[in-house]
Amino acid sequence: MPPQKILISGAGIAGSVTAYWLGLAGFNVTVVERNPELRTAGQGIDMGGAAVEIIKKMGLEEIIRAKTTGELGLSFVDENDKAFATFDVGDKNTDIGFTSDIEIMRGDLCNIFYTAANTFPNVTFLFNTSITSLHQSPSSVTITTSTGKEETYDMLIAADGFRSATRRLILNNPNSEAFIQSQNCWVAYFSIPREPQDHPRSRGYNAIGGRFIMIRPNDEKLSSGYLIVSKDEPSLRAVQRAGMQAQKAVLAELFADAGWEAMRVIREMKDTEDFYLQDVARIELGAQGWSKGRCAMVGDAAYCSFTGTGTTLAILGGYMLAGEILQRPEEPEVAFRAYEDKLAGYVKKAQSAPKGGPQLFVPQTRLGVWLIRTALWLVYRSGITRWIGGYKMPKFDLPDYPFDARVE
């Protein structure tokens, strides 16, 4: 029997990692990506726990570590740029810090995983392509694409991020956005020209009104700017689907009186091309589960997290999903169930956040800002970083799958 044909929607982290492992196992894999080229926007992302074991198995640890941003930690600063609490790099397996030992630009990580998956002759990436319709039978999945082609596959995997259009088609639910639990928090990420004070630690600044500004090291020329708004902000919701310019204009107004380096960040944001505004959210598919028939979901499409664990979950999810498909290629429904059964407990822990959510760390009032600064100072002075809680990666026993015993 020829190897199964598997279609993946989305060439982000989850899509390329899944394609890599399925490709290694000898499946016939096609990845469709809506963007005309690899979507490399985004700033620093990190990984920990089992994801590090997986990149070792992929032989990519060295190349990934060589591309890390070199961030040494995070200092919280006041209006005058005076640091009152500094937290250095923490190993997410053993301790809690705000900075993981693998911090890498999202575009670099996307490129590394894409390049690794693309080396397999049995893996094909199609850009400028998305799925427009889907029909499942007990033995196959037939889709049409935005290029007008109709194709039949044995399985379909949605890896197209937290607003996944493929998830909507799989669940046949126009209201699949109901699974998105918005945290009433917005983050804009973008690159700005580097200044000497931007390196080697990130700096974070709380302003009243639920506003937080962060500047992080990126490379010799660039730093990463973050503008965070932690409240349901109607002016941002109104431009959620509008273009970048409209979003930048709203943010410039919201941060104009924030103090610290706000004016610098706003000024540089205006010219940046790699701007990305994200509605911070968690996806929990609950009783629906992460699959339906011959279709499954992976990464943010299935279990988007806002605790800084999204990339770890995307890498781990891709590995586990491919591994379980390899165990039962003829029975996708059984394989998808095993993937979910083995991973759901871990995902739940990784998604769990301290009560109070982002608003706890980014308060609204002057008193709230004073309290969070005092709490951070106390944690810093006492050294009990564990007190911050919620960001520790749970332990996961990674199964070994026989990926290199290739499917004939």
Ligand X SMILES: Cc1cc2nc3c(=O)[nH]c(=O)nc-3n(C[C@H](O)[C@H](O)[C@H](O)COP(=O)(O)OP(=O)(O)OC[C@H]3O[C@@H](n4cnc5c(N)ncnc54)[C@H](O)[C@@H]3O)c2cc1C
Nearer to ligand X, 9 or 122 (CB): 9
Q: Does 99 bind ligand X (CB under 6 A)?
A: no
Q: Does 358 bind ligand X (CB under 6 A)?
A: no
The nearest distance, CB 39 to ligand X, in angstroms, is 4
Q: How far apart are CA 240 and CA 234, in angstroms?
A: 10
DSSP string, 369-398: HHHHHHHHHHHHHH--GGGG-S-PPPP--P
Task: Fill in the DSSP letter of residue 198.
Answer: G
Q: Does 90 bind ligand X (CB under 6 A)?
A: no
For 105, half-sphere exposure in the C-beta direction (CA atoms, 13 angstrom radius) is 22
Nearer to ligand X, 35 or 385 (CB): 35
Q: Does 398 bind ligand X (CB under 6 A)?
A: no
DSSP string, 303-363: H--SSS-HHHHHHHHHHHHHHHHHH-TT-HHHHHHHHHHHHHHHHHHHH---TTHHHHHS-
Tokens standing for residue 366:
């002057």
Q: Which stretch binds ligand X (CB under 6 A): 5-13, 73-81, 93-101, 251-259?
A: 5-13
Q: Does 92 bind ligand X (CB under 6 A)?
A: no
Contact 189, 42 (CB under 8 A): yes
Q: Which stretch binds ligand X (CB under 6 A): 9-17, 84-92, 96-104, 261-269?
A: 9-17
State phi, psi for 349 to the nearest 5 degrees.
Answer: -65, -45
Nearer to ligand X, 184 or 364 (CB): 184
Q: Which stretch binds ligand X (CB under 6 A): 37-45, 249-257, 262-270, 369-377?
A: 37-45
Q: Does 85 bind ligand X (CB under 6 A)?
A: no
Q: How many CB atoms lie within 10 A of CB 123?
A: 23
**In the set 5, 10, 55, 347, which binds ligand X (CB under 6 A)?**
10
Nearer to ligand X, 15 or 26 (CB): 15
Of 350, 356, 358, 345, nearest to 310 by C-alpha is: 350
The nearest distance, CB 261 to ligand X, in angstroms, is 19
Q: Does 216 bind ligand X (CB under 6 A)?
A: no
**In the set 28, 100, 130, 202, which binds ligand X (CB under 6 A)?**
130
Q: How far apart are CA 326 and CA 27, in angstroms?
A: 9
Nearer to ligand X, 16 or 122 (CB): 16
For 39, half-sphere exposure in the C-beta direction (CA atoms, 13 angstrom radius) is 20
Residues numbered 251-290 forming contacts with ligand X, rule: CB under 6 A: 276
Three-state DSSP class for 120? coil
**In the set 114, 179, 189, 319, which binds ligand X (CB under 6 A)?**
189
Question: Between 293 and 312, how does the x/- string for binding to ligand X read (CB under 6 A)?
Answer: ------xx---------xx-
Tokens standing for residue 338:
């095993």
The residue nearest ligand X at its CB is 12
Q: Does 71 bind ligand X (CB under 6 A)?
A: no
> Who's near 70: CB < 8 A, 6+ residues apart?
199, 200, 217
State phi, psi for 407 to the nearest 5 degrees.
Answer: -65, 130
**In the set 5, 39, 201, 211, which binds ligand X (CB under 6 A)?**
39
Residues numbered 328-357 forming contacts with ligand X, rule: CB under 6 A: none
Residue 341 identity (one-letter amino acid):
D
**In the set 24, 25, 29, 45, which binds ligand X (CB under 6 A)?**
45
Residues numbered 15-34 forming contacts with ligand X, rule: CB under 6 A: 15, 32-34
Distances (CA, A) of 90 to 71, 116, 225, 352: 11, 28, 22, 19
Residue 338 identity (one-letter amino acid):
A
**In the set 6, 8, 13, 157, which binds ligand X (CB under 6 A)?**
13
Which residues in this chain contact ligand X in the complex, by CB under 6 A? 9-15, 32-35, 39, 41-43, 45, 106, 130, 159-161, 165, 189, 276, 299-300, 310-311, 314
